[in-house]
Amino acid sequence: MFSTRLARCLQACLFLVLWANCGDAVPPASPPDSPPAATSRALEEETPVPPRFVPGRVIVKFLPAGPKQAAVTTLSLQGQTFQKADALPQGAELWTLVTESGQKSLSVSQQEQATTAAVEALRQRADVEYAHLDVYFDYFAAPVDEHYLLQWHYPAIQLPLAWQTVTGNVSIAVLDSGRVEHPDMAGRWGPGHDFGYETVGASDPDPTTDGRYHHGLHVAGILGAKWDTAGIAGICRDCPILPVKISSTDNRPILSNVAKAIDWSVNHGARVINMSFGTLAPYEEPCSMYPLIQAAITRAINSGVVVVTAAGNDNRDPSVVTPASCEGVINVGATQRNGQRALYSNGGPLVTLSAPGGGPDIFGNGLGCHDPNGLTPYNGTGGAVSTWAISKPGPQLSGSDYCYRYLSGTSMAAPHVSGVAALILSQRPHWSVAQVKERLLQSVNSIPGCPTNVCGAGMVDASKAIITNMNLATPSCSVDANTATFTCTNAPATGGVAPIQHTWTVLENATLTSSTATSAQGTCTRGTEARLLLTAMDAEQTGLSHERGFRCPPPFLDAAFANQHVPGSLPPESTYSVSVTMTNTGAETWTAAGGFKLAAVAPEGNTLFWGVERVELSASDSIAPGQSKVFMFNINSPFALGPQPFQWRMMKEGQGLFGAPSPRTDIGVWAPAWNAAVVRQTVPTSVPMGHSFEVSITMRNTGTETWTPASYARLGSQNPENNTLWGVNALTLPIGASVPRGQEFTFTATLTAPGTPGLYNFRWRMRTLNTTTWEWFGFGGFTENVPITVTLPPRDAVFVSQSGPAIVMVGSPFVYHVTMKNTGTQTWRASEGISLYTGSSAWNFARGYLAPGEEVAPGQQKTFAVTVTPAHFPGPQPMQWMMWHNATGPFGQRSTVTTLDVLPQAKVAFVRQTVPAFVTPGQSFPVTITVKNSGDAAWGGTPGYQLAPVPALQGHNWGHTSVPMEPGEVVAPGAEKTFSFTAVAPMTQGPHAFQWRMRVQVSPGAFLDFGDATSRVDLLVAGPCYCPPGEVCPDVVCNPDS
């Protein structure tokens, strides 16, 4: 044992040099001013150090079918014999190296090589669940720098506020270097145990430290130093501190001992386990490499014990550190006095939260420490202050060896969280680990510049973590007098266990419209005391409530009914005058500009039922509070029969109805047998005298009798009654018409204006005949009286005369004369679109025009000579003429209608003729002319068809004005007609034109030419002495007298 301890001591010195820069818990052997960081880097690069473990010891867990079941107690592994030495928690076992000459005969290096080889051999076996080394752990204390006030780390996490509520009373197990009888820990130690042996299976109930580095004393002081007038105070005043020693003589915990220590703590009533130790850099040793330690931690957590670990001081990710990377632990990073992350602190996603750990000094100053040996440096005030003893083995300490000291590291941060967890469990001993952890995570403050994936949720805050008594402030409420709406506000409840549910409840005279944890909105009943109740209930169903009352102001807008005058019954669709009086009982004066009106409220959903929905105030009305207003207005009764609701209420635009309504009154609507309502009418307001005009009047039958011609229902003239100013005194229903109740009928008529200018009334009403008395009586509503002005027309005309042929032929133009007199007030001009017009397609819409610049002044006459071409309508055709204005159409009196006989269109083709070339003056000579009927209609059949000289050549008629056809003679289409007659030459010598054409007599002395003329022949008429004019005829010797 001695040689082993000596070897481990030498090894400890080696680790000291390696890890001084990382805050090694073992006091350095070199002076404080030596450069350990540079030495550490050099060694790390040149001679990597193997992981720290106990040589000759392996931890293994066999599967149920393995050697364990066969009671095998020795194994040969890689040429070395290992024997089962101890049973560990969760079915694991500790096996140790045995050789023929004994373990001590091997060097430390040989033992380490044999141990690592044995672990690898075990891992290859199919019956092994896991196997690993029995590693050493280190305590986490870190370098620090600045000087700050004593015990700065308590206010940093708000402990003074937390202590106002709880000081703690649950057991905390400190798995560390053991117990030291420091005066400030007197009476604070609970039962403990010593697992800090390298000897397999060794332990004892006395956890007094046998080392000289009192890491556990510093941790325990943070957790539970006495509260008195001397020294310091621990976080948990009345929490028993269970010292569970896990350090061997060289102050490094061994993994297998830690597993036992965890189980012991659970079995001896610890509610919190603090583990301020772990594996160091550069080796990556995650918890998954050591199932034994994970199993022990899992059992503790499942037993309701909170396990707190230090994240480590190597400024790396704690995921490669054991036990910091074990599942279920609360892993704590460190902050400095300035509240920022300590640079040495491990950081990463596995950090749960952070707490004060101090820094950046190395080993802090002592407070009252008298250390003549100088085995540990005292440098700086940046660390956490706690109990300490000078570096002497524990049993050799005496009264003057006890003191206080600044020390830094995640080892110091972890007990801060363990202490706060103990305070929580002191308040809620029934809480699970998960509940405690959640409470801690909800009770943090952010760490400047450090994200949550490095520093965890944040810095622990004890004042938030502990459960204070709930406090709920009384809410305040405000009311809007205009709208009778209220808003109540409150600060959220404090204390208790989150989440806290805030609930608003109406007690009386109010209605909630919305609410949140900090406010409530709603409406209140005017003129009453409204009361609300605010209740806050936390997650443990602890509740507080406050009642809040307030006065809801009387209405700013209000009204009261005074009286009304309304008929008890009305006929349907009739108009009646009513009045409703309302009194202003509010605070605002009613004016039209203010938007005040009387509004219909019945029937509900049909406020236009009575024909009016709103009744306005007049512009001069000003109804002050206390005054009344009489609203007088007309209503129109509905078509529906029976009792109908009538009710009104005051309103203001933009704010709606207010005040009390008038009493609901049912007005009976009855229908007489004969009744009518006017729907609409179309009537001109100005008509020229004597002119015709169109009107339409639509009436609705609102009686019970059906209107028919047989019932004598008709529209009669009024004002005066039964007048014939407009040409008729009644408009009747057409045969077959039937107008039952509710239906409409439109009377249309063409009326004539009186012949005298002036203003005339136009009004009508339905009437019928009393078949008993045979007297006419009117019924129903009157149409609106329309004053019609009868004027002299601006454009008017009177027919004077007309003349023209009585017989015409299709397609053959003729001239017709029409004389009209201007009887209007405007002069007729062509430029104003005035013309004479037939308006008939039979006459090809013939039109007579005024000459450009011609004027026909009022009173003057104008004779139009109109060229008319009959259209293709043979037979008798009526002809009538009217004056026409292009913009407005016909005006004035039309001509009388005359009928013209329109002959079918006759066509003639010349065939041949027999005519001499030369005749003497006065000579008679025979002529034959043959023509052909080339049209579709026959000639003749009536007198008047004849062959006559062409009109332009009538001076050369050759002794005939015409050659008539034989009476009754008809020339069918396609037939020829030969005229034979004796012509007589004129007495005038010279060439004479000889040409004939067919014609028909259309009136005495009037003829209508048709068809083609014969070929023209210039027939020479000459005697013996004839010499053409302009010529010399020497051969002609003539004596005219001879």
Question: Looking at residue 886, which CATH number applies to its domain?
Answer: 2.60.40.10
Q: Examine the pLDDT at 976 and tell me if it is beyond 70.
A: yes
Please give the Cα distance from 122 to 127 (Å, whole number).
9
- 337 CB-near residues (< 8 Å, 6+ apart): 146, 148, 152, 153, 156, 356, 358, 382
519-523, 604-608, 894-898, 1011-1015, range with the lowest pLDDT: 604-608
Residue type, 735: I
Provide the pLDDT confidence category of residue 139 given band limits of 50, 70 and 90: low
Ordered strands of the 1006-1010 beta sheet: 963-964, 945-949, 996-1003, 1006-1010
Is 60 exceeded by the pLDDT of residue 723?
Answer: yes
Output the domain CATH number for residue 539: 2.60.40
Q: Is 1034 inside any structural domain?
A: no
* Range name among 105-109, 665-669, 671-675, 1001-1005 with the lowest pLDDT average: 105-109
CA distance 458 to 447: 6
Does 202 share its domain with 302?
A: yes
Q: What is the mean pLDDT of the chain?
A: 87
CA proximity to 136, closest of 279, 17, 341: 279
Does residue 146 carry a pLDDT above 50?
no
pLDDT (0 to 100) of residue 77: 84
Is the pLDDT score of 10 beyond 60? no
pLDDT tens track for 300-321: 999 999 999 999 999 999 999 9
What is the average pLDDT across 541-564? 90
In a domain? residue 143 = yes
675 vs 30: which has the higher pLDDT: 675
Pairing assessment for the beta strands 330-335 and 306-310 based on DSSP bridges: parallel
pLDDT score, position 3: 31
User: Does the pLDDT value for residue 736 go beyond 50?
Assistant: yes
Residue 862 lies in a domain: yes
Identify the band that residue 40 occupies on the pLDDT scale cut at 50, 70 and 90: very low
443 and 414, same domain (yes or no): yes
The three-state secondary structure class of 161 is helix
Going through 217-372 in order, the beta strands assigned E by DSSP cover: 241-245, 272-275, 277-278, 306-310, 330-335, 353-356, 366-367
For residues 236 and 308, state if they share a domain.
Answer: yes
| pLDDT tens digits, one per residue of 777-811 | 999 889 999 999 998 888 989 999 999 998 999 98
Specify the pTM: 0.49
Q: Is residue 193 part of a domain?
A: yes
Q: Is residue 209 domain-shared with residue 317, that is, in the same domain?
A: yes
Would you say residue 183 lies in a domain?
yes
From 84, 110, 135, give the residue that closes a domain: 135
The answer to whether residue 235 scores a pLDDT higher than 90 is yes
Instruction: Give the pLDDT confidence score for residue 52 in this predicted structure.
Output: 73
Bond preceding residue 282 cis, omega within 30 of 0: yes
Which residue, 725, 727, 733, 724, is CA-closest to 767?
733
Q: Active-site residue numbers?
A: 176, 215, 411
Q: Are residues 296 and 423 in the same domain?
A: yes
* Together in a domain, 216 and 321: yes
Claim to verify: residue 962 and residue 891 sit in the same structural domain: no
The separation between CA 356 and the C-alpha centre of its own chain, rounded to angstroms, equals 51
Residue 65 maps to which CATH number?
3.30.70
**Res. 668 pLDDT band, cuts 50 70 90:** very high
In a domain, 187, yes or no: yes
Number of domains in the chain: 7
Phi, psi of 713, rounded to the nearest 5 degrees:
-75, 130
- My answer on whether 153 and 165 are in the same domain is yes
Same domain, yes or no: 275 and 128? no
Whether residue 20 lies inside any domain: the answer is no
Smallest Cα–Cα separation from 16: which of 48, 40, 46, 47?
Answer: 40
Tens digit of pLDDT for each residue in 944-969? 899 999 877 655 689 898 999 998 89
Domain that holds residue 713: 676-783
Q: What is the mean pLDDT of residues 958-984?
A: 93
pLDDT in tens, 440-455: 999 999 999 999 999 9
Length of the chain: 1042
What is the phi/psi pair of residue 858, to 5°? -55, 135
What is the amino acid identity at position 993?
A
| Contact residues for 951 (Cβ-Cβ < 8 A; gap 6+) | 997, 1009
**In a shared domain, residues 295 and 248:** yes
**Does residue 885 fall inside a structural domain?**
yes
- 720 upstream amide cis, omega within 30 of 0: yes
pLDDT at 375: 63
Percentage of the residues of the chain whose pLDDT score is greater than 90: 60
Radius of gyration of the chain (CA): 67
Confidence band, pLDDT 50/70/90 cuts, at residue 69: low
CA atoms within 13 A on the CB side of 777: 11
Sheet harboring 402-407: ordered strands across? 366-367, 402-407, 384-389
| Domain identity same for 574 and 641 | yes
Query: 148: pLDDT confidence band, cut at 50, 70 and 90?
Result: very low
CA distance 657 to 649: 7
The rounded distance, in Å, linking the Cα atoms of 531 and 570 is 50
Whether 270 and 344 map to the same domain: the answer is yes
* pLDDT for the residue 283: 87
User: Which residue among 903, 935, 962 closes a domain?
Assistant: 903
